[in-house]
Structure 1
């Protein structure tokens, strides 16, 4: 029995997820990308993970930077997610335009997010056409007054209490 890419992607679209933007700074530029494949990994030590597509321009700079911040987006930040997902927008210029503050790890973080998790790169693991990125958490902050931006069946969804 053969599984098509479309069948696989459609089945996966039925898993609701939060939306994050991972920001990073390499030697010369800042960058960021939208990531929905984010998860906690370990409490002791504090580790998180996400999957990074190998053929995107952010792949090598993010890994070579050795540090990054996971920005968990709030419900009103769908447009920000779209901007960081677009291949037509210079993410360095976008971060400059947003006037992001620097976190404890020296990486820009986005304002108005639900939470941010600042990390050092702990490990890279081959995952087929993706790299599984494991980060050691150095600092975390959150805003309990906000609701998450959710993604389900290829669309943003509203959080329902």
Structure 2
């Protein structure tokens, strides 16, 4: 089948993934966005990566801030994922409303999540209409009793 945007998106939707929210602070305001294109990269040194659309408002602030937190969402956090994915949500107000704690990098960590990974930006790599953001892991934590939120064929699931 010829590759079109719709064919490509549909094929990718058949790959189940975890759901993350990347939080960051820029110019005194907290913000975040939902990301499913997240992966570990290296154990030594500890590196992770995620892909970030170049034309969204979070792109340059994350690059400028130089640090971020990967919040791996737990089962039942569909609403949080949707709110951070929406262009209509005031992310700073949402983070305040959620009463987030902060970690070693003074970046918001969402409540009730499966795990968090605090990172400093190591590198931005060109990837077409996205940047591949490589983060050096500074700190991490997990809640072993929770189950993950999964995204598959444009809907949420859990194990």
Pairwise TM-score range, normalised by the shorter structure: over 0.9
Q: Indicate whether 1:81 and 2:81 are aligned.
A: yes
The answer (yes or no) to whether the contact 2:103–2:118 under 8 Å persists in 1 is yes
In 2, Cα distance between equivalents of 1:36 and 1:2: 25
Shift of 1:155: 0.4
In 2, Cα distance between equivalents of 1:154 and 1:126: 26
The answer (yes or no) to whether the contact 2:73–2:113 under 8 Å persists in 1 is yes
The answer (yes or no) to whether the contact 2:53–2:130 under 8 Å persists in 1 is yes
**TM-score normalised to structure 1 length:** 0.96
Cα-to-partner distance string for 1:46-95 (whole Å, 9 max, x where unaligned): 00000001111111111110000000000011100000000000101111
In structure 2, the gaps of 5 or more residues are none
The answer (yes or no) to whether the contact 2:23–2:69 under 8 Å persists in 1 is yes
What is the root-mean-square deviation in Å for CA atoms of aligned residues?
Answer: 0.9
In 1, Cα distance between equivalents of 2:63 and 2:88: 22
* Aligned residue pair count: 159
In structure 1, the gaps of 5 or more residues are none
1:74-153 correspondence runs (5 A): 74-153=74-153
In 1, Cα distance between equivalents of 2:119 and 2:49: 10
Shift of 1:97: 1.1
Match of 2:20 in 1: 20
Q: Indicate whether 1:37 and 2:50 are aligned.
A: no
In 1, Cα distance between equivalents of 2:147 and 2:2: 39
